Chains A and B, each alone.
Chain A
């Protein structure tokens, strides 16, 4: 309870904190990263103090890069980034938005021609630390989470985010922010000190920063003319009278070689993955808060939020009346009042918008909310400044995979053989082509124009690949852009495919992505897309689409081994899809001849899948197929095809076949239905059909029962059924018939295989025009 009271004291608007600049002490301004109110109040403080030197929390080796940050052509959001030379690549990243207090402090220094420096540990030390503590990473994450959870509990309402916004981000007077942030940082420190597992690192950082401050003072700058901008958490640490880092200790710090760069950043990435766990879920909305501070209009952000939402909705064809917007504004203020505040927080705004503009349904405004809260802004940098980790990764992989020589402006062919090369000694060389294939496919997924994938002839398709490689300056730009998706080629490709998988609506589309991930050698993405496939598969009801998906998955499972891919996750999904197809199939067989083609293709794919995989229930499949083969109310061509499947699998005895033929080809059955059935039957394993004499006997008997008109009709359909038999097959049939009719086989064969005479052709043409409606 005591803690709760303490935390409630932090209130940027309430505390009357007249400015207290102690003599001979530098001014330490605690902030929350990415805090508009912090940026605004900091600028005000800088104007008052007019310091000679501004010190900002950030890796000190980046001080030389500050000039790029303030360049005329730099548009935030941007980030400074350092990454290790060695693999696996590790990075640290400091993103800045326009409303970052640090960024505004740096800008202020430039505008007033004052000196500005970063004072935190050099990035090489940071990354060396992260290598040491990597072992405990999971633990660290947990420890961190629990702090925020604790903070959430103490903050009441909706967690510390909302609490912070309500108390700190709206208007403050008389340096309320400055003091409030200090109390917040102090409380946070009390909560976490000793329990935080990287506390040792924090102590070192603060000692280093103190050393930097001391050095500045020793260089002759009056302490009160120095402003230090740092996370609120560190204020207490910097004020404590502990010693600075000594020369000796400085030398003992671990260090790794790093590359430094600046990179364009995006609001989207700011909101989705940023290491601070603080105030950046809604960058675009925070931008509005920043604007509100500049205009000094307390309710500006709230009003703009609703207008922007309404504007987006109208632009996308959804009616929003002004009355709804007004009611939403009123409700949001009323909600804030219920909590005891004057200005609504983001939470109130969103709930009010849901109630008034979304008619109680968040789904109606979800996209507009995403656009208003997160936005699509991407920063930019002057040309040539960026040398990002993904570029580095790319060149590193080129060397590793012996592909550097393909990096030329002329197009080169590259043929890969994915099979293990048994003639070479090292494991690496044996699978070199497979690694290359993974790499090239990943580039392809990222849309980098360096690579072009060519189709390979069918029979080698499982193990051979053909690529055309050509380097262009555009490819370089595409790679830099891919940095926003991930630090390395692998991470970026994985991010890209996960995003695509989320957007994909059809199961065949997701199956395609699974295939892609399989080609890229990314098992983790395969599992991710598989989970999505499972989700949307629930909605799909078209047998042919399911069958296509079954085929893709079945292929990945079958050939997974050549790319060293485990198919464990795919099996249950395939089982489910197969079961669904079995349940839906009989009902889909009631269709016309056009649709029957698709269904038959689907049945073929499903049958193949059932043959290849033992885990699919063969028994169930055969039960469905024999059901279709038996039933008279389905499309007869499909029933015929089902019979063909049974025949091929040896589940249809001569007796059964004879019975079926007699029933399907009896006099009462319309000739087109009978012939359709026969056509379906003859789409598979013709050889087995041809050798069954009983079939031909039945067919013969059937034809005998027909009268002239009926015969003409049956002739037409039977001709169609036999149309795509080969000459060899036809002569085998001739042999059968000859035997039945006791004729000379050669004679019959000749008749069957000579082209039609003019006369016969005409007769057949007449038949085509035959009006079957009369029969």
Chain B
């Protein structure tokens, strides 16, 4: 681990430098051109394991096969598109993939409504451009340009938030695998190993729908929500603990039972089926992601800390749940009421307090 710095967050390759070095050192398999380690080692880096004496911490838990598909895609020099609900670790996975493959996760473009075509290709240092005319020195290369030159992987976050002309600029890069600079009369071919990992949010569907032509140039991997209750509870617990340290919330950490209740309700409404699989439910319109469960608990802690006795009560929880689940839509209200009557009411003593508080809120 690096010594304490004032930097808020280090890039993945520096944070896990030791692990990457250990993997490279112990490498026995053949390494694709432009890569720092073999595909198998990349897999170990992401999903965890042991190399010699070094323990490799798992970075992405649960869906190993998806990671395999992602890596295999990059071996075939195809571009990779990671799609998922908000909070399903798309960017996290993309960062660690590039950290392991290239030892560099920093060639990244954040897709926004304001992203321009120049940011994908190249732009100019205008002062220099005016004084000296177009030259290589006056040129500002984009991360994608850099990646093509060096045969590495560029990352493009939230691609579906970019305007369509920006997305289109990618098409020629991905199919021709070269960038032409008419101002200088040169063409830069991509070196072997060049590829792009893009991420997109399923909830942004329709904002800037990706064209079929662009989609066709990607292999698409859909990242699902955490696979089971236990792993989701683990994630929630760790993050809530971190958050409460950062934010100095004057409340006790939520008990296991509270986390379980929130995660259970979220999972059931998200998946539209009870955890035991016996009953289907009407899902709500909201995402109800793991990230939301985390913020709900943090909020409840803040409520309990500031206005209550410091322990999260069913009353605090009920208010939070109602707010998270019912997003000012008639439909959600109906689904939530049905859920209360058909499921929560029949869950027995452990849940009866929460049921009563929720019901109270609905009639108030």
Chain A interfacial positions (CB closer than 8 Å to B):
158, 321, 323-324, 327, 330-331, 334-335, 337-338, 351-352, 355-356, 359-361, 531, 534-539, 576, 579-580, 583-584
Q: Are B338 and A331 in contact (CB under 8 A)?
A: no
Bound: A534/B220 CA distance, A: 34
- The answer, among B43, B219, B272, for a CB contact under 8 Å with A331, is B219
Q: Are B69 and A583 in contact (CB under 8 A)?
A: no
> In the complex, what residues of B have CB within 8 A of residue A324's CB?
216
> In the complex, what residues of B have CB within 8 A of residue A338's CB?
39-40, 43, 68, 71-72, 75
Looking at chain A's contact residues, the main secondary structure is helix
- The answer, among A321, A360, A534, for a CB contact under 8 Å with B83, is A360
- Residue of B whose beta carbon sits closest to that of A587: B330
Q: Are A360 and B279 in contact (CB under 8 A)?
A: no
58-107 of chain B: CB within 8 A of chain A: 65, 68-69, 71-73, 75-76, 78, 81, 83
> In the complex, what residues of B have CB within 8 A of residue A331's CB?
69, 72-73, 76, 78, 219
Q: Are A360 and B222 in contact (CB under 8 A)?
A: yes
Q: Does B170 contact A (CB under 8 A)?
A: no
> In the complex, what residues of A have CB within 8 A of residue B220's CB?
355, 359-361
Q: Does B337 contact A (CB under 8 A)?
A: yes
- Residue of A whose beta carbon sits closest to that of B222: A360
> In the complex, what residues of A have CB within 8 A of residue B344's CB?
none
Q: How many B residues have CB within 8 A of the partner chain? A: 31
- Residue of B whose beta carbon sits closest to that of A620: B341
Bound: A361/B223 CA distance, A: 10
Bound: A537/B272 CA distance, A: 12
With most chain A CB atoms within 10 A of its CB, the pick from B71, B81, B216 is B216
- Residue of A whose beta carbon sits closest to that of B78: A327
> In the complex, what residues of B have CB within 8 A of residue A531's CB?
278
- Scoring B residues 150 to 177 as 1 if CB is less than 8 Å from chain A, else 0, what string do you get? 0000000000000000000000000000
Bound: A53/B338 CA distance, A: 70
- Residue of A whose beta carbon sits closest to that of B333: A583
Q: Are B338 and A580 in contact (CB under 8 A)?
A: yes
Q: Are B219 and A337 in contact (CB under 8 A)?
A: no
- Residue of B whose beta carbon sits closest to that of A334: B72
Interface contact tally, CB-CB below 8 A: 72
- Residue of B whose beta carbon sits closest to that of A536: B280
With most chain B CB atoms within 10 A of its CB, the pick from A331, A355, A538, A539 is A355
Q: Given A331-B219, A534-B279, 18 other A-B contacts at CB below 8 A?
A: A335-B68, A335-B72, A338-B39, A351-B65, A355-B220, A355-B221, A359-B220, A360-B83, A536-B280, A538-B272, A538-B280, A538-B281, A538-B282, A576-B342, A579-B338, A579-B342, A583-B334, A584-B334
> In the complex, what residues of A have CB within 8 A of residue B327's CB?
none
Q: Are B222 and A334 in contact (CB under 8 A)?
A: no
> In the complex, what residues of A have CB within 8 A of residue B205's CB?
none
Min CB–CB distance A357 → chain B (angstroms)? 10
Q: Are B280 and A583 in contact (CB under 8 A)?
A: no
Q: Are A327 and B279 in contact (CB under 8 A)?
A: no
Bound: A335/B219 CA distance, A: 13
- The answer, among A323, A327, A351, A534, for a CB contact under 8 Å with B69, is A351
> In the complex, what residues of B have CB within 8 A of residue A158's CB?
65
Min CB–CB distance A16 → chain B (angstroms)? 24
Min CB–CB distance A377 → chain B (angstroms)? 30
Bound: A327/B220 CA distance, A: 12
Bound: A327/B78 CA distance, A: 8
Bound: A307/B334 CA distance, A: 46
Bound: A338/B69 CA distance, A: 9
Q: Are B341 and A579 in contact (CB under 8 A)?
A: yes
Q: Does B215 contact A (CB under 8 A)?
A: yes
> In the complex, what residues of A have CB within 8 A of residue B222's CB?
360-361
Min CB–CB distance A616 → chain B (angstroms)? 13
Bound: A584/B335 CA distance, A: 11
> In the complex, what residues of A have CB within 8 A of residue B216's CB?
321, 323-324
- Scoring B residues 196 to 234 as 1 if CB is less than 8 Å from chain A, else 0, what string do you get? 000000000000000000011001111000000000000
With most chain A CB atoms within 10 A of its CB, the pick from B69, B220, B341 is B69
- Residue of A whose beta carbon sits closest to that of B66: A351
- Scoring B residues 15 to 47 as 1 if CB is less than 8 Å from chain A, else 0, what string do you get? 000000000000000000000000110010000
With most chain A CB atoms within 10 A of its CB, the pick from B72, B73, B75, B279 is B72
Bound: A406/B78 CA distance, A: 69
> In the complex, what residues of A have CB within 8 A of residue B78's CB?
327, 330-331
Min CB–CB distance B269 → chain A (angstroms)? 12
- The answer, among B219, B278, B279, B280, for a CB contact under 8 Å with A355, is B219
Q: Are A534 and B221 in contact (CB under 8 A)?
A: no
With most chain A CB atoms within 10 A of its CB, the pick from B73, B83, B338 is B73
| 22 A-B contact pairs sorted by A residue (CB < 8 Å) | A321-B216, A327-B78, A331-B72, A331-B219, A334-B72, A335-B68, A337-B75, A338-B71, A351-B65, A355-B219, A359-B215, A360-B81, A360-B222, A534-B279, A534-B280, A535-B279, A536-B280, A537-B280, A538-B280, A579-B342, A580-B338, A583-B337
| Known contacts A324-B216, A327-B78; A335/B69 CB under 8 A | yes
> In the complex, what residues of B have CB within 8 A of residue A330's CB?
76, 78
Bound: A590/B81 CA distance, A: 47
> In the complex, what residues of A have CB within 8 A of residue B272's CB?
538
> In the complex, what residues of A have CB within 8 A of residue B337's CB?
583
- The answer, among B43, B75, B282, B342, for a CB contact under 8 Å with A334, is B75
Bound: A323/B78 CA distance, A: 12
| Known contacts A331-B219, A334-B76; A355/B69 CB under 8 A | yes
- Residue of A whose beta carbon sits closest to that of B273: A535
> In the complex, what residues of B have CB within 8 A of residue A534's CB?
279-280
Bound: A338/B39 CA distance, A: 7
